[in-house]
Structure 1
Amino acid sequence: MKYVDIEAVEPGDILGKTIYAVNGAVLLSSKVQLTVFMISTLRRIGVTNVYIKDAGMEMEEQEEILSEETKVGLIKQMSETMDSIRSGKDLNSRAISLTIEDLLFDVIRNKDVLVQLNDIRTRDNAEYIHAMNVCMLSALLGVSLQLNQVQLKELAIGALLHDLGKPDLEANGENDEPKRHTWRGFELLKAKREFSLLIAHVAFQHHEHVDGTGEPRGLIGDQIHLYSRIVAVANTFDNLLASGGEGAGGLLPHEACEQMMAMSGTSLDREILVHFMRIVSIYPNGVSVRLTTKETGIVVGQHRGLPGRPIVRVLQRESNDSVESREIDLAKHTTVFIEQVLG
């Protein structure tokens, strides 16, 4: 697969990753052949990049942390939860809890798989994809930090619902600046007796900074609960991928990781960042790269514990005009580095 700009997609290209609708249903399945109408529709609903299958760059099927069933369930649950908040209805805490149990089952089973956040966002599904990504990343960090099962479930519920205050403010015509939506999310979750108060504190504190410059209370270091410090890291990463943190085009994973390391000890907890860098794929499969050998290729494989040393497949044109491919494992070729990410 190749990760490409929607403007580079042509009719006849084969979609490499499923795209989900806001209710969790499949909007377009992977392996579907794209038509002019489909491409036009994807542009209209806000899709900017997609994964396309490339016959010349076939790779092993990417191992996913979450199953498609779990993803569909999470997106559907978030859609129903946010609709309940906007309409003033009560949250279905049991349904949320069961959805989180499915996520934790997948996360614990696949805890050694490097994170590659490659689900395609549209204008309508973006907030649900964000909640799912933050929840999955936070749970993986919790596993890495050796939290117990009760703690993992509290952390995951808090992570999934960390932005719960936003739709409530929108429904009342108010803005969603961090100080306001964190307070509102805290109040909504605190009222749910089925949930631990620590879950409410995730919504309350996920915009706090360890140096005391965050919102809403300016807490410092360990004054911020561990769950909230974990969710802050996950939330920052997904926001940087989605919009670069400035509402513009999103950053590539290696750019987001560099920016987050610059936040170590100020906005973000240093120890949690160390764990984060062990679980995330800096150069995801499907990304085009240029090596220091001046060869270009596509990342096709990963190494747990060596996220910056993936396997790259390069194409070589032979003298008879045939094209041959070979793989360069950067974990073995220690003098070869990725010089530039091309897209």
Structure 2
Amino acid sequence: TALGDLLGVYEASRSVHSCMAGPAPGGGGLALLIPPAVEAPFIRREGLFHHLQQALSIDPAFCGHPDAQALLASVQRGRALAAGSEGVVPGKAWQGRPGLSTLFGSVPVSDGIDPALLDRLEGLVQQAARGFTPTGHARVDEKMDSLLGVLRTSPAWKAPDSTYFTVLLEYFLRFLHDRFDGQADLYGDRTAYLGPAPNKSDGSAGMWPEKAVQDDIHQHLSGLMTPGTIQREIIDVASGRTDVTYTPEPGRRLVIEVKRRKTKAERNAVERDYLAQAANYTVTGPPFGILLVGDHSSHAAGYSDFDDRVWITRYARSTTEVPRLIVVGVLPIGRPTPSALRMPTS
């Protein structure tokens, strides 16, 4: 009954209207439905076995047929042997492991396999399916999924460029998420720019330089990427000098442009002022880049959340150019502690 119900749902959801069949008998303009072939091996196997049993029970054309009887006996012997195999149950090892179940759900597996190994394999399968290693932070993983969904629409999203940029994007998002949570003393002087800047010598309010943000993202990536692949201040790139450059192999270059903004870093203002420069660094490489903006405006009323401060935008300078896809991340810097925030005046 369950198989029949599942098959009915499958046929109803996957059937297509026939333009060739014409109206159904009796009028009404309803086209005939064409049910597709069921591709799932499990449903096909169990369905055929069920039909064979039914045919041998009620269909006169099959009841006394020697080939049908021999087929049933052979199938029953095979099922009995499989059921009687000690410690081997088809699909049991895949329970709770959807990735492995999709690949090997109908394959008998011994219960003696180390569950830790199966869990590791499940993680690798899910990682391959998603294209990145889940961080365990739901917001980061959801944002990564949504950005990759946009990146995959580019005709240039092909390996190895797509693989390299995915790795860079993953570590960039982890950096942003960590710094959104981090206090100014998280890593000592390295992350001091997250908090209030020291006053100038004349007593006026100070400002953190752009270099503070550059230094932090550079050190963060240098400790994660292959040694020597992360550089900064590379000259003669699109007639300029890049802030942070990832060169996973000769001839392949991905760039992170870093900016510090004194006024509120709203989306339209960020794109208007910095997007063209960030995109220009991609003119001789893959059409993918990252723009990191340190928002040094007043945060007295707080600032929007991590998800709101990361987005992806397209930029093309001509109708024939493959659009540049630039991931933008805005990081609040020079911010007060939560206890010092106040409600905005109405």
TM more than 0.5? no
State the structure with more CA Rg: 2
TM-score range, shorter chain: under 0.3
Given the two structures, how large is their TM-score scaled by the length of structure 1?
0.28
Q: Hey, which of these two has a bigger chunk of strand by percent?
A: 2
